[in-house]
Chains A and B, each alone.
Chain A
Amino acid sequence: MAAGRTKQIFIRNLGSDNPVFVQVLGICSTLAVTNVLKNTVVMCLGLVFVTSLSNLSVSLLRKWIPSRIRMMVEVLIIASYVIIVDIVIKAYLPDISRQLGPYVGLIITNCIIMGRAEAFALSNPPMASLADGAAAGLGYSYVLFAIAFCRELLGSGTIWGVRVLGDWWVNWSIMVMAPGAFFMLAIFIWAVKRFVVTGEEAKKK
C-alpha cells in the first residue's frame, strides 16, 4: 500500500471526514464518558483497538462473507473485540472498569465501527482498512479528549484527577452531567465548522 494513501486516509478521518464533528457519529459515548479525562483515554484506546481490528478482520474475510449476512458477521466480529477489551480492562484496570460500567460494552453499538466496516473494510484491502480503522478511532479520540479536558476542568476543577484550579473555583455541576457534553460538543462542532473546515462549504457555494 502506498504511503500516500495511508496519509490520505488519516487526514480524511482526522479532519474533513471526522466521525464525530463531520459525520456526527458515536455521540452516545461522547456524552457518557467525557466527564473525566482518565475514563475517556481508556475508552478511546478501547475504541481504536476495536475499530482497527474489526476493520482488519472484516477486510480479510470480505471475499468470503456472503453479502446477505454481512451485517451479522460484522456485529459478531465487533462484539468479540469489544468483549476482549472489556475483559482486559476488568482484569488489569479494575477501578476504571468500575467507573466505566456498561459503557465499554456499549462500544458495540458505536456507529463509527459499524460505519467503517460497512463503508470501507468491505471493499478495501486489509492494511488500508486497518489504517482507516485506526484513523477513525483517533479522529474520534482527539475530539473526545478536547471535550473531556474542558468538562473535567470546568466541572471538577481538575485535570487527570489533579486539582489545577484553586479553592476559589466553583465547580460547574452541569459540565459533569450529560447536558454539559451537549454544550461542549455543540461549541466544538461550531468552532471547527466556522474556523477550520471551511474549505468544502465554501467550494460548494
Chain B
Amino acid sequence: MKARAITTEVLLGIVPIALLVALWQAIASFGYAPATLLPPPGTVFTRLVQQLFTGTFQQEIAATLFRLFAGFSIAVVLGVIIGLFAATSPAINAVVRPIVRVLAPLPKVALYPALLLLLGFGHESKITLVVADALFPILLSTYYGASMVEQKLIWSAMAAGTPRRQILFKVVLPAAIPSILTGCRIGLVISCIVVFLAEMITSTDGLGHVLVTAARTFQAVDMFVPLITISLLGLILNGLLQGLRSYLLRGFPEI
C-alpha cells in the first residue's frame, strides 16, 4: 500500500518534467523556434554524452570540481569552527554576530572584481568567492544548531566528568550535526552556482567558460551542455551529501 503510494507520487513527479521536455521537443520540431535558438532535446543530450567522453571537456569539469571542492571544504571547516565557538562563547559571539549580520546579506559577487585585483585571475580568486558565499549558510546553521543543544545534555556530560574542552566536540558538535548538514547542503548548491558564475565572468577554463565561449559564437547546443552538466553535478553531489547524512544520522528521527 505504502509502496504503491510512493510509486504514484514518483509518476506524478515525472509528469511535469516529461511535459517540459515534450514542449521543448514540440517547439523545436514544429519549427516555432529555429534550431540555432533552441536545439531539440535529442541533439542536446547526444552532444552531452559525446562531450562527456572527450578529454578537453573532462578537464573543464575537473577544473570546476577542483574549485568547487576547495572552496566548499574551506567554507565547511571555517563555518563549523566559527559557528561552534560563536554559540558557546559569549565573548566570541559578541564579536562574530554583528560582523555576520553585516556580511551575510552582502552580495558577494560584487566582491569578485576586488578579488580579481588582489588574487589574480587564477584559482585563488574563484575559490575565495566560493568560500565567501558558502560560508554563511554553514556558519549560521552550525550556530543555530549548537545554540539549540539541550542544556541538560551538557550538564549530564559535566556531571559524568567530561572536561570542559571536550564537551564542545563530544556533546555540542554531534548534537548540532543535523543542523550543520542542512547548512552544508545549502552551501553546496550555492558553491555549484557561484563557481559557475565566477567562471562565466572571467576564466580561461571550467564549465562556465565553456558556456561563455559557446554564447560568443552562438552555438546554442554547446550552451545547454555545460548548464545541464553543472545541474547534474549539483544533483549528484546533493545525493552524496544526502547519503552521508543518512549514514551519520542513523538513529536520528527523520526530519
Same complex for A and B? Answer no
- Residue numbers of A with Cβ under 8 A of B are none
- Residue numbers of B with Cβ under 8 A of A are none
